[in-house]
Each structure stands twice: as C-alpha cells, then as structure tokens.
Amino acid sequence: MFDPEVGANVEVAHPTHDTNTGISNTKLGMWLFLGSECLLFGGLITTYLVYKYPLEGQGPGPDQLFDIPFTSASSFVLLMSSLTMVLAVSAIERGDHHRLRSWLVATALLGSAFVAGQVYEFTAFLNEGLGFTTSRFSSAFYGLTGFHGVHVTVGIIMLMSLLLLSLRGRLPEHRSETVEIVGLYWHFVDLVWIFIFAVVYLIP
C-alpha cells in the first residue's frame, strides 16, 4: 500500500484489494473472460453434437476410430496438470520460488504431453482416412478438439512466460495472484476437456 505519511511503499504478501467486490480487477476480468469462453465452447460442442455421425459412405465414423483407453490416459495426464498447477500457486504463496518453477515446468510438461497425444491421435485418424474435409463429422471433430488443443497450447505459452519471469526474478510473492490467474485459465481448459471427453468420446 502506498502510505502518504511514510512516502514509501509498504510491501505486503497478499495485497488487499480496495475494490467494491473485494476481488481484484484482474481476477474478476479473468472470471468474466472464462464465462465468455463457456459460450464459445458451447457453440462448438453443439456443432459437434449435430454433426456427430458422417453421412453414409463419407469416411469413418467415431465408433470406428476412437481409442478410448489411449484418450483416457491423455485425459488423465491433463487432469494431473491441474494438480501441479495448484501446487505451483501454493508454492509462490509460501514464497518458495524453487518449487514454483518446478511445478510450473511440471504443469507445462503434462500439458505438452496432452497436446502431443492429440497430435498423435490426429495423425492416426488421418492415416485411417479421416481428413479435415472428409465429412461433417471430421470437420466438427477436428474443429472442436483442435480448438481445445490451441487453448492448451496458449496455456503452455503462459506457463513458460511465468517461468521466464520467475527466473528473471520478476515474480515476487506479492505478485502471486498472477500465477493464480493463469491457474484459473488452466483449470478452465482442463474442465472443458472433461466435457469434451465425455461428449465426444464416451457418450455413444
């Protein structure tokens, strides 16, 4: 807080927020943005549900393609990254910058493993004759899951940026909320995947 009496800034570990809601502007902004993202994914998930099956004779359908054990494993990897993200936030709140960096790297790696799994899956489907333009199902499938993959990738870039900042010493404890806000985004992307996994892969 700036203290006019002292004329210098008094650092606090958890900045208090003099906002009407008590939530900082940035965090509230992120919540609102994520609310908006729900509708974006809602539109794409709806599209997938409408186009779940290709027309007769237009390439393979979901029941011939999906490898549910494989995708379950990569989904598990992505969900575990939420755990490491929580640990990263908790580390910086305790001022443990070494652990912060470790957990950020772990989260980014798990996220990358998920994206790698998606790339592998796409390649396998492509080899089985499912191009992006093959059928309405293929467009909807690649569109929805690819869109989610881009979101994970953006999250990884954010995590790496945090890591870089932390290494440069520009992520002190009193900025821990920045990590928390990236965490919000990350958890949201994970949560959306649970829906996508259920809707696309599990519900027949």
Partner 1 sequence: MTVVDTPLELSSGNGSTSRPFGVFARPTGGPGWRSWLTTVDHKKIGIMYGAAALAFFIIGGVEALLIRAQLWAPRGTLLSADQYNQVFTMHGTTMVFLVVMPIGAAFANYLMPLQIGARDVAFPRINAFSFWAFLAGGLFINSSWFLGGGADGGWFMYAPNSTVTFSPSNGIDFWNLGLLITGIASLTGAVNLIVTVLNMRAPGMTMMKMPVFTWMTLVTQFLLLFAIPVLTAAQFLLLFDRNFDAAFFDVSKGGQPLLWEHLFWIFGHPEVYLMILPAFGLVSDILPVFSRKPIFGYTFIVFSGVAIGFMGWGVWAHHMFVSGIGPVSVLVFSLATMFIAVPTGVKILNWTATMVGGKISLTSPMLFCIGLITMFTIGGLSGVTHSVAPADTQQTDTYYIVAHFHYVLFGGAFFGFMGGFYYYWPKVFGYLLNEKLGKANFWLMFVGFNLTFGPMHVLGLQGMSRRIYTYDAGYGFEFWNKLATIGAFVLASSIALFIFNIFYSKVKAKSLPKPGPDPWDSRTLEWMIPSPTPEYNFDPIPTVTRLDDFWYRKYGETEDGRLVRIAATEDVTQSAEGEHNVHLPSPSYWPLVAAVGLPIVGYGLIFTWWLCLIGGLITAGALYAWALEPADDPDAGHGAGHDDHPVAGAAPEADLVDADADAGTGAGANGEGADAGTNGEGVTEREVETVG
Task: Identify the helix (H) or strand (E) that includes residue 166.
Answer: helix 136-167
Please report whether residue 91 would count as binding partner 1 according to CB under 8 A.
Answer: no
Please report whether residue 47 would count as binding partner 1 according to CB under 8 A.
Answer: yes
Please report whether residue 202 would count as binding partner 1 according to CB under 8 A.
Answer: no
Tell which positions 135-164 bind partner 1, by CB under 8 A: 135-136, 138-140, 143, 147, 150-151, 153-155, 157-158, 161-162, 164
Tell which positions 174-193 bind partner 1, by CB under 8 A: 174-175, 177-179, 181-182, 185
Shortest spacing between CB 171 and partner 1, in angstroms: 6
Please report whether residue 198 would count as binding partner 1 according to CB under 8 A.
Answer: no
59, 135 contact by CB (below 8 A): yes
Residue 166: Cβ-neighbour burial (10 angstroms; 0-12, 13-18, 19+): buried
Shortest spacing between CB 147 and partner 1, in angstroms: 7
The closest alpha carbon to 193, from 149, 135, 134, belongs to: 149
Residue count, binding to partner 1 (CB under 8 A)? 77
Q: For partner 1, which stretch binds (CB under 8 A), given 43-51, 69-77, 113-121, 194-202?
A: 43-51
Which of 26, 64, 72, 123 touches partner 1 by CB under 8 A?
Answer: 26
Shortest spacing between CB 116 and partner 1, in angstroms: 18
Q: For partner 1, which stretch binds (CB under 8 A), given 38-46, 72-80, 109-117, 191-199?
A: 38-46
Residue placing its CB nearer to partner 1 in the complex, 49 or 194: 49
Which of 70, 76, 120, 132 touches partner 1 by CB under 8 A?
Answer: 132
**Alpha carbon 78 to chain centroid, angstroms:** 9
